[in-house]
A = this chain, B = another copy of it.
Amino acid sequence: MTHRPFFPLPSGLTIGEIATLTGAVPRNAASLDRVITGIASLERARPSDIVFIDNAKYLEQLAGSRAGACLISEKFEQYAAATMPTLRTPKPYHDFVMVARKLFPESLCPVSQFDGEAIGAGAIVHPSAEIEDGVTVDPGAVIGPHASIGSGTVIGVNAMIGPGVQIGRDSSVGSGSSITHALIGDNVIIHPGCRIGQDGFRYHAGAQGHVKVPQVGRVIIQDRVEIGAGTAIDRGGMGDTLIGEGTKIDNLVQIGHNCMIGRHCIIVSQCGLSGSVTLGDYVVLGGQVGVADHITIGEGAMVAAKSGVIGNIPAGEKWLGYPAMPGRSYLRAFASSRTRPK
């Protein structure tokens, strides 16, 4: 068996093009036509790869790197070998991400896992569903009655879109995910195995055991949200469960009914939000955080990994522990989103 790459080999960018794209300044005009086709860490880079450095602890790796280009801050440029084509910039990692996105556009949103046909083999689309031109329904996916799906959206293998669900344009639903009782925006990424729209967990104690309380709300997911594999989002009981624009949710997260999640939040893997939790915009929850029901966490607040939140958190504060309290230690345990790639 021969290994085939999982992404198309990039056609590449010259160092000159990278300079234009990022505004970084090449040290040596002689290398402007060199073509970069990949990204890598300093120690693993080959001459066709671009790297970056923004931290003194990697200077030793810089010295030995075979990379074909390096985005670098001014103060480190002197440490690069004279033969190393450097691009000077005040924001090396930011520029590196820009280059990576340009080299690998297919990596920015999941694509068809089969042949990319409008309706793949074995897919079942209800005649009443409204499927715009340019939708891809992968094999085995099922689209229910009156569902509507916008152009450019990909429904993954064996995924299920329930009755009346609306999904906007240029979104993707991962393999095996199930979505019911939901309205979903544009440019949303839902990874494989997500469970969106099922009943919230609400019972009323009765003489014969727990009595199920009707859950007749919805899930609203705004534009540019990303939802990790295996994450569960329950629909609202009476109102809706809302995920605000641009919020990113990691794998295996639980979002209870009636949660109101703000815009541009970061919720790391295995967090659990009980019912009716409210997060302001730009809230960050580290991994495995639990939040009790009806808690409000203010805009820009950060909660360290594994904390248990049982009181409201004011905007902008950093809390940690169980019960969570204000604090600045453990910052290492905060969201992985700020860490360097490898």
In the complex, which residues 181-232 of chain A have their Cβ closer than 8 Å to any Cβ of chain B?
Answer: 181, 183, 191-193, 195, 198-199, 201-206, 208-216, 218, 224, 226, 228-230, 232
- Type the 1/0 row for A171-186, where 1 means its CB is closer than 8 Å to any CB of B: 0001111101101000
Whether B323 and A310, one on each chain, are in contact in the complex, defined by CB atoms closer than 8 angstroms, is: no
- Type the 1/0 row for A248-290, where 1 means its CB is closer than 8 Å to any CB of B: 1011101010100001101011101011100000000001101
Number of interface residues of A (CB under 8 A): 127
Whether B104 and A238, one on each chain, are in contact in the complex, defined by CB atoms closer than 8 angstroms, is: no
In angstroms, Cα B256 to Cα A185, docked, is: 27
Is A27 interfacial (CB-CB < 8 Å)?
A: no
Which of the candidate stretches A15-23, A58-66, A77-85, A332-340 sits at the interface with the other chain?
A: A332-340
Contacts of A97 in B (CB 8 A): 204, 211, 213-214
Whether B201 and A107, one on each chain, are in contact in the complex, defined by CB atoms closer than 8 angstroms, is: no
Q: Known contacts A124-B140, A193-B193, A204-B93: does B181 contact A157 (CB below 8 Å)?
A: no
Q: Known contacts A142-B139, A216-B104, A336-B201: does B124 contact A115 (CB below 8 Å)?
A: no
Contacts of A310 in B (CB 8 A): 330, 332-333
Determine the residue in chain B with the shortest Cβ distance to A323: B330
Contacts of A103 in B (CB 8 A): 214
Contacts of A68 in B (CB 8 A): none
Contacts of A130 in B (CB 8 A): 1
Is A122 interfacial (CB-CB < 8 Å)?
A: yes
Instruction: From B236, B305, B341, give the contact of A202 (CB < 8 A).
Output: B341
Q: Give min CB distance, A4 to chain B, whole Å.
A: 5
In angstroms, Cα B166 to Cα A214, docked, is: 28
Contacts of A239 in B (CB 8 A): 41, 44, 342
Whether B192 and A178, one on each chain, are in contact in the complex, defined by CB atoms closer than 8 angstroms, is: yes
Instruction: From B248, B263, B305, B311, give the contact of A201 (CB < 8 A).
Output: B248
Give the one of A124, A214, A226 with max B CB within 10 A.
A214
By a beta-carbon cutoff of 8 Å, the part of chain A in contact with chain B is 1, 3-7, 39-41, 44, 93-94, 97, 100-101, 103-104, 107-108, 110, 113-115, 120-122, 124, 126, 130, 138-140, 142, 144-146, 148, 156-158, 160, 162-164, 166, 174-178, 180-181, 183, 191-193, 195, 198-199, 201-206, 208-216, 218, 224, 226, 228-230, 232, 234, 236-239, 245-246, 248, 250-252, 254, 256, 258, 263-264, 266, 268-270, 272, 274-276, 287-288, 290, 292-294, 305-306, 308, 310-311, 322-323, 330, 332-333, 336-339, 341-342
Sorted nearest first, the 6 A-B pairs with minimum C-beta distance are A195-B229, A175-B178, A209-B246, A107-B214, A157-B160, A232-B251
List 5 extra interface pairs beyond A202-B337, A288-B308, CB under 8 A: A39-B214, A114-B144, A156-B160, A193-B193, A209-B224
7 interchain pairs (CB within 8 A)?
Answer: A4-B164, A115-B145, A121-B124, A138-B142, A203-B266, A258-B341, A310-B333
